[in-house]
Amino acid sequence: MKKALVVLMALLLAFSTFACTAKPAETAATEAPVATEAPTPTEEPAPTTVQFTDSVGRVVEVPADITKVAISGPLAQIVLFALCPDKLVGVASKWDATAEQYLATQYYNLPELGQLYGGKGELNLETLLASGAQVVIDVGEPKDTIVADLDALQQQTGIPFVHITATASTMADAYTKLGELLNMPDEAKALSDYCATVYTRTLEIANSVEKANLIYCLGDTGLNVIANGSYHAEILDLLANNLAVVDAPSSKGSGNEVDLEQILLWNPDVILFAPDSIYAIVGSDPAWQQINAIKNGTYYEVPMGPYNWMGFPPSVQRYLGMMWMAQLLYPDTAQYDLYTEVAEYFKLFYHCDLTQNQYDALVVNSIGAQQALKPAA
């Protein structure tokens, strides 16, 4: 019994010693570091406006996300219709009736806003303000008063106005800049690359041929010419020897008025007639038959649809004119499959699938007439 008591007391002493030296579980747990989540940084809201420097150096504050675009004139209309047809709130001037067969109804029926320079009507500010346009874009050759004009309109309307310079040689750059403005870099690149490719090929052709002696006639009597060195003569001067040298080349699309005696003195080997000029009747006119081009049957009518392919306005459709004129004058060098080339252009710039019959109708008085004169193989 005494022995059992001693053993029990020894066990109690050992348990007491362990209990005094061990830390309670709760205490150990409370001393462990507590993990806390780092505060989430507050994200800055995306800017609603950005600054854009246009082609004449004006720094303009524009919406960061532009969904509604107005244009200042027909030249801008053609350029921007290719890039952003669904952003356009209107057109500068109604499409020519020939355009209806190529354009979707919602585009053909866009409201008319008027135009900033030239044309038959001024920019309709009331219609512009009602359109919800977030920006107005002017494209083309900058006028001497462009900065003052756009600054005044911007102040008057509260709508940003920007100018993008574009010529036949710089249209690719113009599309790149428009892509930046409208946040459409991929769409703009496709159009820019196309323009660069066609223009480069045109230069190659122009530099490898003996250029034709040519004039471009327009007007009801055919006695207006697009003068050498004028803005509207870019493609003519590039691909041909434009004989229409005058003292003061007109910057207007109506060209310079001359008389038949002057045309006889120039005596061109080729004449291009504007649509709705005198192509249809000139071949039976004895006075005109004295000119080499008429005498030899080397006179042609420029295709029209939806616009004059040689310009008027001098916009991006001139790239059609480059290919058409090169194939017309220098077929052995150009070697274009012109229907394929024109159909590609219509798809890219007019969002239209051009049929063979439509193409044939467009070139009936030029490439078509030329082919009709060729002897059968």
pLDDT (0 to 100) of residue 251: 84
pLDDT (0 to 100) of residue 40: 63
| Dihedral (CA of 127, 132, 134, 140) sign | negative
pLDDT in tens, the chain (377 residues): 444 434 334 433 343 443 434 444 444 444 555 555 665 666 777 789 999 999 999 999 999 999 999 999 999 999 999 999 999 999 999 998 889 999 999 999 999 999 988 655 588 999 999 999 999 999 999 999 999 999 999 999 999 999 999 999 999 999 999 999 999 999 999 999 999 999 999 999 999 999 999 999 999 999 999 999 998 999 999 999 999 999 999 988 899 999 999 999 999 999 999 999 999 999 999 999 999 999 999 999 999 999 999 988 899 999 999 999 999 999 999 999 999 999 999 999 999 999 999 999 999 999 999 888 776 65
Give the per-residue SS3 of the chain.
Answer: CHHHHHHHHHHHHHHHHHHHHCCCHHHHHHHCCCCCCCCCCCCCCCCCEEEEECCCCCEEEEECCCCCEEECCHHHHHHHHHHCHHHECCECCCCCHHHHHCCCHHHHCCCECCECCCCCCECCHHHHHHCCCCEEEEEECCCCCHHHHHHHHHHHHCCCEEEEECCCCCHHHHHHHHHHHHCCHHHHHHHHHHHHHHHHHHHHHHCCCCCCEEEEEECCCCCEECCCCCHHHHHHHHHCEECCCCCCCCCCCCCEECCHHHHHHHCCCEEEECCCCCHHHHCCCCCHHHCHHHHCCCEEECCECCCECCCCCCCCCHHHHHHHHHHHHCHHHHCCCHHHHHHHHHHHHHCCCCCHHHHHHHCCCCHHHHHHHCCCC
Residue ranges of the chain assigned to CATH 3.40.50.1980:
49-194, 210-372
**What kind of fold does domain 210-372 have according to CATH?**
Rossmann fold (3.40.50)
Question: What is the reported pTM?
Answer: 0.85
Q: Which CATH architecture has domain 49-194?
A: 3-Layer(aba) Sandwich (3.40)
Q: How far is CA 373 from CA 104, 158, 279, 296, 369, in A?
A: 36, 59, 17, 11, 7
pLDDT (0 to 100) of residue 121: 57
